[in-house]
């Protein structure tokens, strides 16, 4: 192979040796072996050469990047800490061996993916380091070669990859510029492949009404002057894209659609340059990808019309589900910022080394020179901290409540985050500038929720149903940690997601919970263990028993329902919707739940309250509770409880002002569920009990007038669990005995109707 001209910053020894053989990456991988005569370790495979310390230092001083690289990572470091290594500049001979680590792989099309190993040997002393191999190409796997073939124009020109090393090295670093013809060509090819090859994505597009269109769209045919249009039957089959973005705090909304300017926007249109930058960028991306119809809430919904808002929000599920693409402006914290700005360069240019690439027959037979960089594990960690991997950092749209349903319901999204560009669809997630170029999308919805025709659903209790229920809990956990500009949107901003799950988890949706599993759904806990979780002083947007009543992250206590016995029964559950056209939307005040269950007083061993990783760990005296509830005489006939009749309960309060120092006065335990004890199980199974903490609060007292025939009215103030284990000790048969004693106690106590608001 004829070598390209040698760069001025590479010495001839390195260029004609280690560079000419591509660092030995396609040789036999490096392997450690031991000599038979003396057992000394040596290395085989890769490419090896010898050089004196003097020549090495001289080349590095003259500017050779390879010699500087080795000097930095080996010679200087080893000479400073070991008297056995030659001093830089001496005539001692050093052997350098480079090649692929044995864990590396060669993928189709001859792509290298893995680690470069370098072994430097002086006499019998060996030192080995491993390096991740990256390119600055911005693309990975087959893109470098495929795009050359695909993008040939009739005149014979083509888009040449931004670095030819991408054809050989499957390890691109994020590229700083996402607004280039090459990037948009890649994005368009990704979308075409998704629409052609992904069965789940194709089915998501064609489900229900395949040619559904929103009420209004933005016509971007004229890039300088866009116009709002009312859709009609003549537009049957038209494709549109949507925008997912964050408006931002304190940003002017002067150009949003209102009843006053709607007719002007539909007749004469809007000057594009008068719109915020994020919207202008979305218009540019849509047009560049070949679309002229765009949907975004601030322009396609009449913002000062409650009727229009309610009607359009009710169809939000369809807006994103039937869009061909969602443009996700993940890097923009506000609508004025835009998302096509250059990304930060995470590595300095002097860390790049030349890489001789084989010729590409579609363009030229001559080899070309690309660029690669080698990063140690420590350097990789440093780059990762600066967000080389975008999914290590939650971007702007992943922090906002409204944006979750936009991401989940979209068939495919083009995500412009802070460091790279990604295509996320219901099947996979592909990145520009990451070795993991394709993987299962974390936001894929239809991998768990079957795409069924209307009127059909998975069988309740089946494995598929359990998977759907777990997916719902995972989504609620994510959603509860996101921010909303208005707390009143808590149920509204996830209504479209609930609509997708309703055929499988319904019928019946009450304030974020499902009627069919309502007792189990009451078991949720706060994930926020920090101070400052104060109960909102304004009116409740949901009853206290709903996770939607909280303003901090929560998670469901997911347990296999098949192994649980119910200790409570739902007598009544009543919530009133604010809009009957929004069955999964916000509710009026006054929603209540009536449980028929045991109400146990909060009686603990005197003064024994321990702080733990939970809000509190309390010790209850079962015998004392028995004496209070069922009488001492009857209690004497019961067998003694191991552990002096004591049992630990772990309490997680919903808010800090519900803690044991203040809010737990007059609190009751309400057991809801317990694991069934199977006869064939080991005696060491401790058994688990789950329940709620309820209390009379100022709000519940004010609501008592509505339930004069029901007795006391309570609010949920926390969650608790117990399993019979004592003082974090081992699981023993006595643990199960404690649990059984607690369950027997509950059976002796009369059940009552408990009203929760």
Range from 17-21, 678-682, 732-736 that averages highest in pLDDT: 17-21
Residue 279 pLDDT level (bands cut at 50, 70, 90):
very high
The predicted model gives 636-654 an average pLDDT of 62
Q: Find where tokens 């040596």 sit.
A: 42
DSSP character for 109? G
Q: What is the pLDDT of residue 346?
A: 59
Q: What is the pLDDT of residue 601?
A: 78
Q: Report the alpha-carbon distance of residue 114 to residue 112 in Å, rounded.
A: 7
Q: What is the pLDDT of residue 180?
A: 81
- DSSP H helices, 434-589, are 463-480, 495-505, 518-521
Q: What is the pLDDT of residue 373?
A: 82
Maximum CA extent, the chain: 101
Which tokens is 395 given?
């971007």
Whether 610 contacts 616, CB under 8 Å: yes
DSSP 289-328: TT--EEE-HHHHS-TT-HHHHHHHHHTHHHHHHS-SEEEE
pLDDT tens per residue, range 57-95: 899 889 999 998 888 888 766 666 656 666 666 788 889
The predicted model gives 153-164 an average pLDDT of 44
Residue 296 pLDDT level (bands cut at 50, 70, 90):
very high
The predicted model gives 597-604 an average pLDDT of 79
Pairing status of strand 368-375 against strand 412-416: unpaired
Q: Report the alpha-carbon distance of residue 29 to residue 46 in Å, rounded.
A: 6
% of the chain surpassing 70 pLDDT: 73
More confident residue, 644 or 167: 167
More confident residue, 9 or 707: 9
Calculate the CA dihedral of residues 445, 451, 455, 460 and round it to 10 degrees. -60
Which range (39-48, 154-163, 544-553, 685-694) has the least confidence? 154-163
Q: What is the pLDDT of residue 565?
A: 85
pLDDT tens per residue, range 168-180: 776 666 667 788 8
Alpha-carbon distances of 281 from 101, 448, 547, rounded to whole Å:
44, 33, 37
pLDDT at 100 over 70: yes
| Listed residue (278, 270, 259) closest to 220, CA to CA | 270
pLDDT tens per residue, range 448-457: 676 655 556 7
**Which 3 state secondary structure label does DSSP give 605?**
strand
Give pairs for 290-293: CB < 8 Å, separation 24+. 290/188, 291/220, 291/239, 291/240, 291/241, 291/324, 291/325, 292/219, 292/220, 292/221, 293/217, 293/218, 293/219, 293/220, 293/238, 293/239, 293/240, 293/241
Residue 209 pLDDT level (bands cut at 50, 70, 90):
low
Peptide bond into 507 cis (omega under 30): yes
Contacts of 196 (CB under 8 A, 6+ apart): none
Residue 164 pLDDT level (bands cut at 50, 70, 90):
confident
Question: What is the enclosing helix (H) or strand (E) of 13?
Answer: helix 12-14
Residue 664 pLDDT level (bands cut at 50, 70, 90):
very low
If phi > 0 it is left, if psi is from -120 to 50 it is alpha, else beta; for residue 284 that is: alpha
Q: What is the pLDDT of residue 242?
A: 97
DSSP 22-90: GGGTTSPPPEEEE-TTT--EEEESSEEEEEEHHHHHHHHHHT-HHHHHHIIIIIHHHHHH-TTSPPTTS
More confident residue, 677 or 282: 282
Question: What is the overall mean pLDDT for the chain?
Answer: 78
- How far is Cα of residue 380 from the mean position of the Cα atoms in its chain? 22
Question: What is the enclosing helix (H) or strand (E) of 348?
Answer: none
pLDDT at 7 over 70: yes
**Which 3 state secondary structure label does DSSP give 581?**
coil
| 710: number of Cβ within 10 Å | 16
pLDDT tens per residue, range 537-582: 556 789 999 999 888 888 888 666 767 788 999 999 999 999 888 8
| Listed residue (524, 471, 523) closest to 500, CA to CA | 471
Residue 627 pLDDT level (bands cut at 50, 70, 90):
low
The predicted model gives 369-386 an average pLDDT of 72
Report residue 68: phi and psi, to 5°.
-65, -40
Residue 13 pLDDT level (bands cut at 50, 70, 90):
very high
Which tokens is 487 given?
């707390």
pLDDT at 208 over 70: no
Range from 301-315, 344-358, 441-455, 620-634 that averages highest in pLDDT: 301-315
Calculate the CA dihedral of residues 357, 359, 361, 364 and round it to 10 degrees. 120
Q: What is the pLDDT of residue 440?
A: 52
Q: What is the pLDDT of residue 244?
A: 94
Residue 142 pLDDT level (bands cut at 50, 70, 90):
very low
pLDDT at 589 over 70: yes
| Listed residue (350, 697, 649, 408) closest to 549, CA to CA | 697
């Amino acid at each position: 192979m004829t070598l390209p001209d040698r760069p001025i910053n590479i010495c001839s020894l390195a260029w004609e040796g280690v560079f000419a053989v591509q660092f030995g990456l396609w040789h036999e991988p490096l392997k450690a072996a031991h000599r038979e005569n003396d057992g000394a370790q040596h290395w085989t495979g890769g490419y090896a050469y010898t050089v004196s310390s003097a020549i090495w230092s001289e080349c590095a001083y003259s500017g050779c990047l390879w010699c500087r690289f080795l000097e930095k990572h080996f010679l200087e470091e080893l000479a400073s800490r070991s008297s056995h290594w030659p001093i830089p500049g001496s005539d001692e001979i050093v052997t350098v061996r480079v090649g692929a680590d044995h864990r590396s792989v060669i993928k189709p099309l001859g792509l290298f993916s893995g680690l470069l190993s370098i072994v430097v040997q002086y006499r019998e002393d060996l030192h080995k380091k491993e390096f991740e191999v990256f390119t600055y190409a911005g693309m990975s796997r087959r893109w470098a070669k495929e795009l050359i073939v695909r993008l040939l124009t009739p005149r014979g020109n083509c888009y040449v990859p931004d670095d030819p090393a991408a054809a050989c090295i499957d390890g691109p670093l994020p590229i700083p510029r996402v607004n280039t013809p090459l990037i948009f060509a890649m994005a368009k090819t990704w979308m075409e492949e998704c629409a052609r090859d992904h069965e789940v994505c194709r089915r998501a597009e064609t489900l229900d009404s395949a040619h559904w269109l929103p009420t209004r769209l933005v016509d971007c045919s004229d890039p300088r002057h866009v116009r709002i249009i009312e859709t009609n039957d003549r537009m049957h089959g038209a494709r549109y894209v949507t925008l997912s973005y964050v408006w931002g705090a304190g940003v002017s909304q002067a150009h949003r659609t209102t009843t006053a300017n709607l007719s002007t926007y539909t007749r004469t249109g809007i000057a594009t340059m008068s719109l915020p930058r994020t919207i202008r960028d979305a218009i540019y991306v849509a047009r560049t990808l070949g679309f002229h119809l765009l949907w975004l809430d601030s322009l396609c919904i009449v913002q000062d019309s409650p009727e229009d808002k309610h009607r359009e929000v009710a169809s939000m599920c369809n807006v994103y589900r039937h869009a061909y693409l969602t443009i996700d402006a993940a890097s923009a914290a506000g609508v004025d910022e835009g998302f096509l700005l250059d990304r930060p360069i995470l590595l300095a240019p002097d860390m790049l080394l030349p890489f001789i690439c084989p010729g590409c027959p579609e363009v030229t037979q001559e080899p070309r020179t690309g660029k690669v960089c080698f990063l140690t594990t420590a350097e990789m960690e440093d780059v990762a901290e600066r967000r080389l991997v975008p999914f290590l950092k939650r971007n702007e749209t992943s922090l906002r409540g409204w944006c979750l349903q936009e991401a989940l319901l979209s068939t495919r999204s083009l995500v412009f985050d802070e460091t790279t560009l990604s295509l996320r669809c219901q099947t996979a997630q592909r990145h520009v500038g990451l070795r993991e170029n394709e993987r299962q999308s974390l936001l894929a919805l239809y991998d768990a929720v079957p795409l069924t025709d209307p009127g059909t659903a998975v069988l309740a209790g089946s494995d598929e149903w359990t998977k759907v229920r777990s997916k719902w809990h995972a989504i609620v956990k994510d959603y509860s940690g996101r921010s909303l500009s208005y707390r009143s949107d808590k149920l509204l901003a996830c209504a479209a997601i609930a609509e997708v799950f309703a055929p499988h988890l319904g019928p019946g949706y009450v304030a974020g919970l499902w009627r069919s599993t309502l007792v189990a759904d009451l078991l949720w806990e706060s994930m926020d263990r920090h101070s400052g979780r104060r109960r909102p002083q304004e009116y409740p947007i949901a009853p206290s028993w709903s996770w939607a009543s909280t303003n901090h992250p929560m998670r469901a206590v997911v347990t296999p329902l098949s192994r649980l016995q119910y200790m409570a029964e739902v007598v009544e559950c009543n919530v009133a919707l604010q809009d009957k056209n929004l069955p999964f939307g916000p509710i009026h005040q006054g929603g209540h739940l009536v449980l028929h269950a045991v109400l146990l007083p909060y009686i603990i061993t005197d003064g024994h309250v321990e702080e733990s990783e939970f809000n509190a760990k309390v010790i209850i005296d079962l015998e004392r509770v028995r004496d209070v509830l069922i009488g001492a005489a009857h209690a004497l006939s019961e067998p003694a409880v191991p552990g002096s009749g004591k049992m630990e309960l772990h309490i997680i309060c919903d808010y800090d002002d519900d803690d044991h120092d203040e809010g737990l006065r007059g609190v009751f335990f309400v057991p809801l569920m317990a694991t069934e004890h199977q006869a064939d199980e080991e005696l060491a199974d401790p058994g688990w009990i789950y329940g709620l903490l309820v209390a009379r609060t100022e709000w519940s007292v004010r609501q008592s007038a509505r339930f004069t025939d029901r007795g006391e009215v309570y609010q949920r103030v926390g969650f608790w669990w117990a399993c019979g284990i004592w003082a974090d000790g081992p699981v023993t048969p006595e643990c199960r005995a404690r649990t059984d004693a607690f369950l027997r106690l509950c059976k002796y106590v009369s059940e009552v109707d408990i009203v929760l608001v």
